[in-house]
């Protein structure tokens, strides 16, 4: 009898751990001056859901400054059972296509994911504060050694 190659395996507990970020969130952010923006305070709205049989967290965010949308992101998070790391496929309104996903793992309540490209390295650090809030720090480094903040934020669940 032929094996059904379309039959999905079940998500692992590592996949389920990403559900901590599922839901609707309001964020207060600080954007640091960079080659992309002058910096300053911002707010954001994030909507995230577990989808595709529980294997992926799909996250969409819109950032506002001075009452106008200035930035948007689409992130897809998963756990790669082959190399045993978490992956983040990140797309944003700057329009750069990442050559590969960010990769990393959990240390306690902190999920750290790092991605390199020809423009440099990005590090996303998500820390669960409690079930209704988390923080995010996005950092940049040309050499993956000295990191500079690009964005910091605290996000609160909308009930």
> In whole numbers, what is the pLDDT of the chain averaged over residues?
92
pLDDT tier at 3, thresholds 50, 70, 90:
low
- Domains of the chain by start residue, with CATH: 13-157 (2.40.128.20)
* Residues near 27 by beta carbon (within 8 Å), at least 6 away in sequence: 43, 44, 45, 46, 61, 136, 153, 154, 155, 156
Instruction: Tokens for 30, please give them.
Output: 């600080």
Q: Kindly report the pTM of this predicted structure.
A: 0.90
Rounded-to-10 torsion of CA 95, 80, 113, 50: 70
State residue 118's pLDDT score: 72
- Segment 80-101 shows an average pLDDT of 91
Question: In this model, does residue 144 exceed pLDDT 80?
Answer: no
Reply yes or no on whether the pLDDT at 2 is more than 90. no
* CA distance linking residue 145 with residue 82, whole number of Å: 27
């Amino acid at each position: 009898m032929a094996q059904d190659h379309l039959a999905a395996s079940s998500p692992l507990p590592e996949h389920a751990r990403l559900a901590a970020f599922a839901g609707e969130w309001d964020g207060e952010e600080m954007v640091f001056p960079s080659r992309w923006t002058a910096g300053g305070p911002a707010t954001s709205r994030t909507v995230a859901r577990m989808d595709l049989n529980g294997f992926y967290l799909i996250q969409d965010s819109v950032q506002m400054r001075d009452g106008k949308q200035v930035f948007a992101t689409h992130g897809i998070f998963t756990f790669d059972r082959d190399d045993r790391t978490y992956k983040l496929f990140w797309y944003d309104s700057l329009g750069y296509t990442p050559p590969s996903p960010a990769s990393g793992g959990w240390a306690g309540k902190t999920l750290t994911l790092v991605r390199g490209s020809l423009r440099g390295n990005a590090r996303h650090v998500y820390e669960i504060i409690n079930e209704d809030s988390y923080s995010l720090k996005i950092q940049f480094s040309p050499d993956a050694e000295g990191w500079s903040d690009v964005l910091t934020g605290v996000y609160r669940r909308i009930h």
